[in-house]
Amino acid sequence: MIRAHLATFPPRRRLLRRTCAAILPQVDHLFVVLNGYQEIPGYLAKDARVTAIIPDRDVKDAGKFWFTPAPDDIVFTIDDDIGYPADYVARTLAHLNAIGPQGNVVGYQGNIYVGPRAAPQTAWDNYIFHQPVEQVLGASIIGTGTLCARGSSIPPLSEIEPNAGACDIPFCHWLFRNGILPWILPREAGWLSNDLPRNLKPSSLFHSVARKGHAAYKELLWSFATRWPHANIRHDRFQARPA
């Protein structure tokens, strides 16, 4: 099964409908976690291709890991504020198959730790999903809004929920512990679009949770971020290295 996993909350109602319309024609099934909703929207409840639930607590972005896929499923974790083109699933899956779905995950948003540099530069190179990238690159952190993975590379909710609001960090920590490598994929500028309106930016998890840099997930981040064997290396060159 090709499946998409999405978590959302009420201020994103309009964005949610647009995202569902873009993704549903490309997958077999869409799984939606509706944080803070009082009822499931009718267009979701009536669609046999959709499983939507209202959780008993606010699991934030960790809701993308609420549902458990079969090991050989293909899972796309998505966000409601990204514009996905009509060839998103087919093109991304072709990349995953070329790299190898066993032991690898792929996506379009990533960060690479490159080490201390002179100010004003930071120790990170950031690859934003709507900006161009030419090569497949090893990532230190992969974003879960544009992720594609085999079901066996998706952790259980219990691994992610303690750091809900910054789920990319526990997800990549779990990948590291399990020897699964994250890769940033090539694309042209604007192939994916940032659809978050300005008035909703303050409510985004990046601004309300992740940007605050809570100590707990910072400690988790530094337990793995500098230790990847493939980070900042092109996939073809990593594959060509001597065993």
Share of the chain above pLDDT 70, in %: 90
Confidence of residue 241 (pLDDT cuts 50, 70, 90): confident
Instruction: Tell me the mean pLDDT in the region 61-84.
Output: 98
Under 8 Å CB-to-CB from 234, ≥6 apart: which residues?
135, 136, 137, 138
Average pLDDT, the chain: 92
| All domains of the chain in start order, with CATH | 2-240 (3.90.550.10)
Higher pLDDT, 119 or 211: 119
Residue in the structure block whose two tokens are 């090991």: 71
Higher pLDDT, 115 or 135: 135
Cβ neighbours, 10 Å, residue 180 = 18
Confidence of residue 57 (pLDDT cuts 50, 70, 90): very high
Q: What local confidence, expressed as pLDDT, does residue 157 receive? A: 98
Share of the chain above pLDDT 90, in %: 83
Q: What local confidence, expressed as pLDDT, does residue 214 receive? A: 64
Residue 6, pLDDT > 80, answer: yes
Instruction: Tell me the mean pLDDT in the region 50-69.
Output: 97
Dist CA 84 CA 94 (whole Å): 16
Q: What local confidence, expressed as pLDDT, does residue 134 receive? A: 96
Residue in the structure block whose two tokens are 């080490």: 115
Instruction: Name the least confident of 87-91, 143-147, 173-177, 216-220.
Output: 216-220
| DSSP collapsed to 3 states, the chain | CEEEEEEECHHHHHHHHHHHHHHHHHCCEEEEEECCCCCCCHHHHCCCCEEEECCCCCCHHHHHHCCCCCCCCEEEEECCCEECCCCHHHHHHHHHHHHCCCCEEEECCEEEECCCCCCCCCCEEEECCCCCECCCEECCEECCCEEEEEHHHCCCHHHHHHHCCCCHHHHHHHHHHCCCEEEECCECCCCCEECCCHHHHHHCHHHHCHHHCCHHHHHHHHCCCCCCCCECCEHHHHHHCCC
Q: What local confidence, expressed as pLDDT, does residue 120 receive? A: 66
Burial of 30 (C-beta count, 10 Å sphere; 0-12/13-18/19+): buried
Q: What local confidence, expressed as pLDDT, does residue 208 receive? A: 47
Residue type, 210: A
Confidence of residue 207 (pLDDT cuts 50, 70, 90): very low
Higher pLDDT, 212 or 193: 193
Q: What local confidence, expressed as pLDDT, does residue 218 receive? A: 83
Q: What local confidence, expressed as pLDDT, does residue 196 receive? A: 80
- pTM of this prediction? 0.92
Q: What local confidence, expressed as pLDDT, does residue 62 receive? A: 97
Confidence of residue 200 (pLDDT cuts 50, 70, 90): low
Q: What local confidence, expressed as pLDDT, does residue 242 receive? A: 80
